[in-house]
Amino acid sequence: MTLICTLTLVHETEDSAYYAESPALEGAVLLGALTVRKWGLPQPTPTALRLTLESYEAEKPSRPAGVPKKRHVLEAETLFREGATVVVVKNRQAGIHQPPEWLEQYLGREGRILWTTAGGAMVQLDKQATWFPYAELEVKG
C-alpha cells in the first residue's frame, strides 16, 4: 500500500512550519496537521510538501544482551500481583514521585494490592486506598 498526500504550508513560526492537507475530491482528509522543525527543511520554507506513506512490517527492537529490564517493569511482571501484601518503603531507585512529606505518613504501613498499572499499584491501607509507584513498595514474605 502506498499513499501520497500533498501538504500546504498553513503557518510558520521561528522554529517550526505547520502543514495541512487539502481535502481530496471526495472531501476526505487523510492526515491531520503536520508540524515540521525548520532545521529539517530547505530555506526558504517550502510552501508545499509531498508525503508518501508506505506500509511495512517493522521488526520489534530487541534489548541488547546483558541489559536488564527496568526495575519497575520487572517487579510488576513478577512480584506485584492483585492481592499481594506489600509494605510502603522509601523510594531509593527512582526519582521522587510524591513529595517526601506525603510519603512519610505511609512508610512502614502494610497493605494489599487492589490493582496494578504500568508504573505502580493501588494499595488498600486499612480503610483507604492509595496509588504508589513500584519503587515505593516492597512485597512482604
Kindly tell me if the per-residue pLDDT of 83 is higher than 80: yes
Residue 36 in this model has a pLDDT that exceeds 60: yes
Residue 93, all three cell numbers: 531507585
Residues 77 and 103 in one domain: yes
Instruction: Quickly state the pLDDT bin for 43 (edges 50, 70, 90).
Output: very high
Range of the domain at 23: 2-54
My answer on whether 130 and 75 are in the same domain is yes
What span, in angstroms and rounded, lies between the C-alpha atoms of 10 and 54?
Answer: 25
pLDDT at 117 over 90: no
41 and 7 in a common domain: yes
pTM passes above 0.75: no
Please, what's the b/e burial string for 6-42 (b: 16 or more CB within 10 A of its CB; e: otherwise)?
ebebeeeeeeebebebeeeeeeeeeeeeeebeeeeee
What whole-number percentage of the chain has pLDDT above 70?
75
Radius of gyration for the alpha carbons in the chain, expressed in angstroms and rounded: 25
- How much is the pLDDT for 26? 61
Predicted confidence (pLDDT) per residue in 70-79, tens digit: 554 554 555 7
> Distance between CA atoms of 85 and 121, rounded to whole angstroms?
11
Mean pLDDT for 129-137 is 84
Contacts of 123 by beta carbon, 8 Å cutoff, 6+ apart: 86, 88, 111, 112, 113, 114, 129, 130, 131, 132, 137
CATH code at position 106: 2.30.30.70
**In a shared domain, residues 96 and 134:** yes
Confidence of residue 57 (pLDDT cuts 50, 70, 90): confident
pLDDT of the residue at 18: 92
For 16-31, write each residue's pLDDT tens digit: 999 998 766 566 777 7
Tell me: do 89 and 122 sit in the same domain: yes
**Residues 75 and 134 placed together within one structural domain of the fold:** yes
Instruction: Out of 54, 80, 97, pick the residue that ends a domain.
Output: 54
Task: Report yes or no on 59 lying in a domain.
Answer: no
pLDDT confidence bin for 65, thresholds 50/70/90: low
Asked if residue 16 is part of any domain, the answer here is yes
- The number of folded domains in the chain is 2
Using the predicted structure, report yes or no on whether residue 110 has a pLDDT greater than 80.
yes
On the question of pLDDT at 62 being above 80, the answer is: no
Q: Do the domain assignments include residue 61?
A: no
37 and 92 co-located in one domain:
no
d(CA 136, CA 88): 6
